């Protein structure tokens, strides 16, 4: 059976209608897309009047199509499949808004073509958030520019509310989030209450942020759940996680190494399209523990609370390939969909790391010759 995305199915009437709408909308905006030397505001106003859309949205769509022109291989793929809706195309442009390095854009183009090409029948289409995350992974590991400076700003809204914004490095932000969530859980507080307690309190809170790195690949980036791939080196103790893949315990609760392996394999909740980070998801027994299902990584899947409840209520069930960790979800209405793991331990990520190392070596070689 040929590979295809579920929303591009030719046998599902709803999917066919959806595909037709995406194609017509895309081709309409392409037809009225002004050249970059034309007055974009006038062109946007014309389309906005005719479609009932705001000038701002039309302008943003035009800008996103200009961006797609800078990703020629992705554009060609899309115009063959029409699998990207405007929401996803806009997300791609927003993620690349600060990127002008042609080499980085070329890398993003190649990575997105690979990422947005289906490899299994009825595969779930990556969400706009997951596409953005993929782009940010490339930017963080490819760009040579220095990271933005950290900053904190305070805003006193009125006599009852105040707000502040913190711009931090992703790994630092992940550690801050972990501390706040830990305090909230330990002291049964809301997240805002826990935030204040974490900042003003004197009680020490021990937190651990797990990172993943391929030690056998030179200059391999590190991966943090909820953040993605990061270049550079994060201090910490490394433990070989491969052995955890074969662990089995007679207990219902998996061991810590098992949890870390499953999180590193899955990346997120495995419900199709869900973006809840795996470290915040439950570890579900595919074959129920009460029915003899072992507590072992090949029988464990990351599911957020909401989607775990759907599975528990038997509104959906799944089958997982123990080798690839690919999942086929069988829905209550008789439909099915394929989901692939996205974490650094997923089999398909190994190739991404190898190509990353090759690209970095090539770039350094060119820099040396210059």
Give me the pLDDT at residue 149, please: 66
Q: Using CA atoms, how far apart are residues 307 and 312, in angstroms rounded to an integer?
A: 9
- Indicate whether 158 pLDDT > 90: no
The β-bridge partners of 301 are 284
Give me the pLDDT at residue 153, please: 76
CA atoms within 13 A on the CB side of 338: 17
Domain match, 365 and 236 both: yes
* Residue indicated by tokens 């799944």: 318
Task: Find all residues with CB under 8 Å of 366, minimum gap 6, and list them.
Answer: none
Give me the pLDDT at residue 363, please: 57
Least confident range from 98-102, 174-178, 365-369: namely: 365-369
Please name which of 298, 302, 268, 299 lies closest in space to residue 286, comparing C-alpha atoms: 299
Q: What is the pLDDT of residues 37-94, one digit of tens each?
A: 888 889 999 999 999 999 999 999 999 999 999 999 999 999 999 999 999 999 999 9
**Is residue 343, in this structure, part of any structural domain at all?**
yes
Domain match, 162 and 254 both: no
Give me the pLDDT at residue 141, please: 78
Domain residues for 169? 151-200
128 compared with 201, residue with greater pLDDT? 128
Q: Using CA atoms, how far apart are residues 353 and 218, in angstroms rounded to an integer?
A: 10
92 compared with 213, residue with greater pLDDT? 92
**Is residue 307, in this structure, part of any structural domain at all?**
yes
Q: What is the pLDDT of residues 277-321, one digit of tens each?
A: 999 999 999 999 999 999 999 999 999 999 999 999 999 999 999
283 compared with 170, residue with greater pLDDT? 283
Please name which of 213, 319, 227 lies closest in space to residue 267, comparing C-alpha atoms: 227
Domain match, 221 and 362 both: yes
What pTM was estimated for this model as a whole? 0.76
pLDDT band at residue 156, thresholds of 50, 70 and 90?
A: low
Domain match, 334 and 223 both: yes
Instruction: Give the number of domains in the chain.
Output: 3
Mean pLDDT, the chain, integer: 87
Domain boundary among 98, 118, 142: 142
Give me the pLDDT at residue 370, please: 43
Q: Using CA atoms, how far apart are residues 333 and 331, in angstroms rounded to an integer?
A: 5
Give me the pLDDT at residue 145, please: 43
Burial class (CB in 10 A: 0-12, 13-18, 19+), 219: middle
**Is residue 1, in this structure, part of any structural domain at all?**
no
119-147 residues labelled b (16+ CB within 10 A) or e (exposed): ebbbbbbbbbebbbbbbbbbbbbbbeeee
| Average pLDDT over every residue of 154-167 | 72
DSSP symbols for 286-324: SS-GGGT--BSGGGEEEE-HHHHHHHHTTSEEEEE-TTT
């Amino acid at each position: 059976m040929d590979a295809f995305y579920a929303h591009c199915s030719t046998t599902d009437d709803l999917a066919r209608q959806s595909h037709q709408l995406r194609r017509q909308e895309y081709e309409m905006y392409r037809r009225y897309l002004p050249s970059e030397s034309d007055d974009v505001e006038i062109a946007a106003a014309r389309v906005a009047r005719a479609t009932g859309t705001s000038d701002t949205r039309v302008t943003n769509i035009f800008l996103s199509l200009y961006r797609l022109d800078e990703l020629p291989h992705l554009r060609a793929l899309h115009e063959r499949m029409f699998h990207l809706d405007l929401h996803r195309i806009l997300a791609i442009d927003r993620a690349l808004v600060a990127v002008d390095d042609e080499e980085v854009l070329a890398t993003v183009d190649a990575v997105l073509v690979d990422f947005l090409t289906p490899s299994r029948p009825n595969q779930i289409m990556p969400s706009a958030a997951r596409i953005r995350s993929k782009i940010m992974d490339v930017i963080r590991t490819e760009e040579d520019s220095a990271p933005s400076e950290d900053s904190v700003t305070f805003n006193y809204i009125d006599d009852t509310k105040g707000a502040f914004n913190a711009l931090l490095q992703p790994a630092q932000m992940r550690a801050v989030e972990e501390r706040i969530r830990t305090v909230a859980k330990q002291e049964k507080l809301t997240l805002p209450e826990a935030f204040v307690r974490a900042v003003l309190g004197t009680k020490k809170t021990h937190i651990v942020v797990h990172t993943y790195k391929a030690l056998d690949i030179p200059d391999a980036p590190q991966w943090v759940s909820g953040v993605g791939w990061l270049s550079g080196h994060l201090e910490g103790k490394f433990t070989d996680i491969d052995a955890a893949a074969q662990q089995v315990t007679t207990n219902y609760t998996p061991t810590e190494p098992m949890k870390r392996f499953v999180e590193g394999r899955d990346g997120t909740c495995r419900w199709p399209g869900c973006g809840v980070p795996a470290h915040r998801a439950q570890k579900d027994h595919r074959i129920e523990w009460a029915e003899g299902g072992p507590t072992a990584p090949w029988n464990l899947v990351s599911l957020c609370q909401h989607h775990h409840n759907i599975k528990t209520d038997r509104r959906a069930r799944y089958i997982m390939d123990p080798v690839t960790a690919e999942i086929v979800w069988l829905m209550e209405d008789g439909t099915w969909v394929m989901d692939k793991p996205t974490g650094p331990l997923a089999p398909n990520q190994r190739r991404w790391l190898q190509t990353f190392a090759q690209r970095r070596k090539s770039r350094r070689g060119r820099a040396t010759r210059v």
